[in-house]
Structure 1
Amino acid sequence: MARTLWDSTVGKKTVMAVSGLIMLAYLLTHMFSNLKVFFGPEEINEYAHWLRELGEPFMHYGWTLWLVRIVLILAVVAHAVSAYQLSRLDIKARPEKYVHKRQRSSYATRTMRWGGVILGLFVVWHILDLTTGTVHPGEFEHLHPYQNLIDTFSTWYSNVIYIVAVSALGLHVRHGFWSAAQTLGMGKPHLDRGLKITANFLALALTVGFVSVPVGVMTGLVS
């Protein structure tokens, strides 16, 4: 049954929609937690410790965080694989004579496709920078995100990478939330306006929220 569902276009779109919503929930949480940097080092550094203590004593130290990471990794893989396979199916099924009629939808598809590639590359860089410290521009300090964020956003190239990626994220969320709603059966005429407003609001909130951190460092508001 699961195999039959996955092999169908509807199944792949459903997997893509559900995994996308899981990632959206994570992004909103991550964005709000990043804003703690504006309340000083103690606020955000204590939050980093709290994440690893979450669920104690039932869960061992750090286990809840790793559980969240595993779920997120599975969602990312499922989203990427289903997106790739749907893209291949779309290319195979597209007659050349309909190319002009499909120009508008193809533009949205290309935007999502390249936005996904940009975000995938950014995630790798972001982890190597602020999680493992492998490419961190300063002296990486474990469980000291405040100083690590300042180090990162004190370099021009980190700001460029981050702002470009966040801009791509905003566009991705704007179109992706709408597509997910259609796939999950919420695409009703009386809901259209509300869904469009929600999609635009989420995209704008995430973009502004994430970009505010490097802007805060660049302007000296966070130092």
Structure 2
Amino acid sequence: MKALINARILADYILNLSNFCITDREERVSYNHIGALLADVILQSGLNYKHVVFPRVQRILIEYSEYNTTTSFHKLLDENGPRYVINWTHPEKINRIMSVISLLKKYGIRNEDEFKFWLTSEENVEILLALKGIGPKTIDYLKGLLNIPGVAVDRHVKAFIAQAGLRLNDYSEIKKTVEFSADLLGISRSSIDYSIWVYMSEKQYIISKNK
């Protein structure tokens, strides 16, 4: 009930913003590469995407294009070492990638399409969440890459919620508020997520430009 009330407040706030545009998020093109997908998902947290994450994802897609399935990429990591293949030395994220790919092998998930289907089960989501370092934000980011509709609560969403006058801190509470708000506005949950990102990114750019 509280989430619905907050959603109405957020929806009204959006409707009264003269420069907020609802932008439909086009379905992203799949990597069709388990290794590139996992590198993107695991590396993105806390790192500069454009300069750190994206070049590594591209390198995997170009240099290891034929190792696109779970089994073949796992074999590549075993033979060449994950630090070399991912081009990353810190053990925390490397261990996280290895944990996820081992889980995919355990459940017989061979590619992105099968991973997407597997994630439609909440029971399976809980299995993935049980891995060290995998939290709700990582799951929602992963779902976004796999074109599963939803909202990933990042700093832009949190700042936007605060601007609307809502004092929310719990990840799940923020997520429900934004998703219910999308339902009230009659737009997709992916669209409201993307629209908030565009709005806050442009606002941040204007502020930094005027400093």
Q: Give the TM-score taking structure 1 as reference length.
A: 0.26
**Which protein has the bigger helix share?**
1
Q: Give the TM-score taking structure 2 as reference length.
A: 0.27
